[in-house]
Amino acid sequence: MTTQICDVGALDLARYVRPGATVAWGQGCAEPLTLTEALAAQRRQLGGVRCFTGISSSPAVRPEHCDYLEFTPYTAAGANRALSRAGLLEVVPCHYSRLPDLLGDGPLRADVLFLSLPPAGPDGTFAPGLGADYITPLIGQAGTVIAEVNDQVPEIGGHRLEPGEIDVIVRTSRPPAEYADKPASDVDMAIAAHVAGLVPDGATLQVGIGRLPAVIVRYLSGHRDLGVHSGMITDGIAGLIEAGVVTGARKSLDRGLVVTGFLMGTRALIARAAVDKSIWLRDTRYTHDHAVLAAQHALVAINSAVEVDLTGQANIEVAAGRYVGGIGGAADFLRGAARSAGGVPVIALPSTTGPSTTGPSTTGPATAGRASRVVARLSGPVGLARADAGVIVTEYGVADLRGLSLARRREAMIAIAHPGHRADLEAAAARAAAGD
C-alpha cells in the first residue's frame, strides 16, 4: 500500500534509506528537488549513502554534503562540476545505453529510487513527469520507490505508472528545475553555420549536452520537416517545434513524434511540452538502442568534445586534468548516425580553448594562452575511438573523416585547426607519418 505524505517535513527517510544504500534519481528538469533536498538535510541520520546523479541543479549536490553522501554520476555536468573541482566526484565512465542495466541489477543497483511526477490522471495512473531515460526502467527493480508529486509538473506522453508501483508519495508544489542556454560567442555561431549546412531537410536530429549543440539548433530555423530522436531536448528544440520546422513528417520511426529521454530547458520548454502531444518520453533502452538509431531516417547526431586528435579520436571527459564531461550517449548516437541511411555523425568544437567574442581569424598567430583543441595527442582519455569518427567541425570548416586514411585524416584535421597552430600540427603529423 502506498504511503501518502502531504508535507515533506513529515518524511523520515531513515525508514527507507539504509546506511550504505544507493539512491538514484532523474536529471535535468526531471530532478526531484524536494526529495534530494530532504536527503541532504537528513544525511547525518542516514549514515553513508551513495547517490547516483545525472545532470543536476539541486542544492543537495554540494561538496559540503560529501561528509555523508557519496556522489557517483556518469557526468561532471551541472552541479557535479563543483564536486569535480573539489576532487569529490566518483564518476562512472560508461555508455549511457548501459545505465539501466548497471542501475537495475548490475554493480550500481539502486536500492531507492526518487521520482518527480505530475498529479495522477483520471484513471489514477501517473505520467512520467519530465524524464524517463535511465530512471523508468528501474521502477519495479529498486527496493523502494519514493515519488514527489508536483502540481507544477505537466503531463507528457510516455509510459504511465500504476499507483501500486510507488511506495511513498510526497505532495509538493514548486517550479521544476530549469536550465537556460548560455550566450553564444562568434566562434560558436561560425561553427553552427557550418553544421547547419550538413543537416538536410527531413533529417532526424539528436542533440548533445552543452552550449555549442544548443547554438547549432538555433541555426536550423530555415530547415523543413526535421524530426527529433534524442536523449534530451532543449529550449531550442521547442522553438523549432513552434516555428513548424520540426514536424517529424519524414521520420521512418515514430513519425510525427519528438522522442526524447528527458527535458533540459526553461519554463518555455516545459510549457511547450505541456500542450504539445507530439513530445513523447521514452527510456534509454529505446532512445539509445543501436538498432532503433540505425533505422532512423537521416539521423544527424550533433555532439561536442574537449579535443580531437589528428586521426579523429576524441576526448569528451577531461580538460586540464579535471573531469568536466562524461561518456554519455555520444558513442551510441554517433554509431547510430553512421549506420543510418543518409545519417551524419558530427563532433563540433572550437579550434582553441577559451572564450571568443571577435570571431574566427584566418591569419596570424593563435591567441595568447589559448591551446589548440585539434591536437597531435589527446591530453585525456579516448572517449570516442577514431573508428567512430565521422565529421569534425570547427569555426574554420568541416573535416569529413569518413573513409579517409590516417594521412588524409591528418591533412583534413589540420585544415580546420587554428592557423596559429597549424605549423606545429604539421610537424607532428610528419613525425607520425614517419612512424606509420
Last residue of a domain, one of 146, 172, 198: 172
Q: What is the CATH number of the domain that holds 401?
A: 3.40.1080.20
- Give the separation between CA 431 and CA 436, rounded to whole angstroms: 9
Look at residue 203 and tell me if it is in a domain.
yes
Is 295 within a domain?
yes
- Same structural domain, 167 and 212: no
Tell whether 385 is covered by a domain: yes
Same domain, 331 and 419: yes
- What confidence score (pLDDT) does residue 361 get? 44
d(CA 303, CA 89): 23
Q: How many CA atoms lie less than 13 Å away from 117 in the CB half-sphere?
A: 30
Q: Domain end: 140, 172, 204, which one?
A: 172
| Position 179 in a domain | no
Q: Which of these three, 112, 146, 172, is where a domain ends?
A: 172
pTM value surpassing 0.75: yes
In the chain, how many domains are there?
2
Residues 249 and 158 in one domain: no
Count CB-CB contacts under 10 A for residue 244: 10
- The tens-digit pLDDT sequence of the chain (436 residues) is 899 999 999 999 999 999 999 999 999 999 999 999 999 999 999 999 999 999 999 899 999 999 999 999 999 999 999 999 999 999 999 999 999 999 999 999 999 999 999 999 999 999 999 999 999 999 999 999 999 999 999 999 999 999 999 999 999 999 999 999 889 999 999 999 999 999 999 999 999 998 999 999 999 999 999 999 999 999 999 999 999 999 999 999 999 999 999 999 999 999 999 999 999 999 999 999 999 999 999 999 999 999 999 999 999 999 999 999 999 999 999 999 999 999 999 999 999 997 654 344 443 444 567 999 999 999 999 999 999 999 999 999 999 999 999 999 999 999 999 999 999 999 999 998 887 6
Same domain, residue pair 295 and 390: yes
Q: What is the extent of the structural domain holding 191? A: 186-435
What is the rounded CA–CA span in Å between residue 277 and residue 254? 13
225 and 196 in a single domain? The answer is yes
Grid look-up 523549432 returns 240
Residue 355: per-residue pLDDT: 61
d(CA 73, CA 180): 21
Give a yes or no: residue 180 inside a domain. Answer: no
Looking at the fold, whether 139 and 282 belong to one and the same domain comes out as no
Q: Is residue 178 situated within a structural domain?
A: no
Q: Does some domain include residue 344?
A: yes
Helix (H, G, I), strand (E, B) or coil at 41: helix
Residue 119 shares a structural domain with residue 221: no
* 213 and 148 belong to one structural domain: no
Task: Record the cell numbers describing residue 8, joined without a space.
Answer: 515533506
Shared-domain flag, residues 195 and 158? no
Q: Are residues 76 and 207 in the same domain?
A: no
The CATH number that applies at residue 125 is 3.40.1080.10
Q: What is the pLDDT of residue 359?
A: 45
Q: Do 245 and 353 share a domain, yes or no?
A: yes
CA-CA distance, 393 to 379, in Å (whole number)? 20
Q: Take residue 317 and report the three cell numbers written for it.
A: 571527459
Based on the fold, state whether residues 167 and 221 are members of the same structural domain.
no
Residue 181 within any structural domain of the chain? no
Measured at the CA of 294, the angle between CA 289 and CA 300, to 5 degrees, comes to 105
